[in-house]
Structure 1
Amino acid sequence: MAGVKALVGLSFSGAIGLTFLLLGCALEQYGVYWPLFVLLFYVLSPIPTFIARRLSEDTDSASNACRELAYFFTTGIVVSAFGLPMILARKETIQWGACGLVMAGNSVIFLTILGFFVVFGGGDDFSWEQW
């Protein structure tokens, strides 16, 4: 039952993050949908970690080169997701208020993705059928 509660909590926080993102796009004073391109970063961010967990052997060593490279790529994707709204606001494509809402949405969504990996990815018997 704990897995279901965690899944409901993660989906609720994901909905809150997407609400911030959509408010940054759809409010009447902002009205520009360029910040929706961060959705691409939301989809891309867990992919390197999924690939690294699939390819790396499960050893007890402190460092694994495949996982470290995946963390590096994931960090680049996350930083890009925070950088895109700032660049759009700096070039006056979007307003700074929309940039703030998108940044809040980014924070919530990426914490939700991290929470997913903490809750569902910790064990060796990780499978999609457990929830």
Structure 2
Amino acid sequence: MTLVVLGCALPSYNSWWPFFVVIFYVLAPLPTIIARRYQDDVGSSNACKELALFLTAGIVISAYGLPIVLSRSPITPTSVIETGACILVLFGNTVVFLTILGFFIAFDKDDDGYNMW
């Protein structure tokens, strides 16, 4: 998240448009959380899990695509955001999504090794 803020707030970039990827950070774990809750009630629903993974993948790809599109758009004589800001946001995306993945791996309810937590 710090890299995303740096990509927005540094004086050489001075554009807060890349900060919209935070919406994707909030939306990314929601399909998986909903699918796990629904899966517990119904039993093992593989279709529900696959749909949740598909939606999550779409959200993650959109989070990577937004800064690239903003850096390549020809709305003004220069692009909406600078290339350096785009790179910082892409690295920030990688850190945040790996953290979310690590959370789901560490606190998986199906794994018996973490029941003591």
TM-score range, shorter chain: 0.7 to 0.9
SS in 2 for 1:52: helix
* Structure 2 residue aligned with 1:68: 50
Answer yes or no: is 1:117 the counterpart of 2:100.
no
CA distance in 1, matches of 2:53, 2:103: 15
Where do 4+ consecutive residues of structure 1 move more than 3 Å? 122-125
CA distance in 2, matches of 1:124, 1:103: 31
Answer yes or no: is 1:93 the counterpart of 2:80.
yes
Answer yes or no: is 1:22 the counterpart of 2:5.
yes
TM score, norm. by length of structure 1: 0.76
1:53-99, Cα deviation, whole Å (9 max, x unpaired): 0112444xxx8000000000000000000000000000110000000
Aligned pairs, number: 106
* Structure 1 residue aligned with 2:76: none
Q: Which amino acid aligns with 1:67?
A: K
Q: Structure 1 stretches of 5 or more lacking a match?
A: 1-17
Q: Which amino acid aligns with 2:34?
A: I
CA distance in 1, matches of 2:43, 2:86: 41
SS in 1 for 2:58: helix
Q: Which amino acid aligns with 1:119?
A: A
* Structure 2 residue aligned with 1:9: none
**Post-superposition offset of 1:123:** 3.2
- Higher relative contact order (CA closer than 8 Å, sequence separation 6+): 1
> Structure 1 vs Structure 2: percent identity of aligned residues?
58
Q: Which amino acid aligns with 2:87?
A: G
TM score, norm. by length of structure 2: 0.85
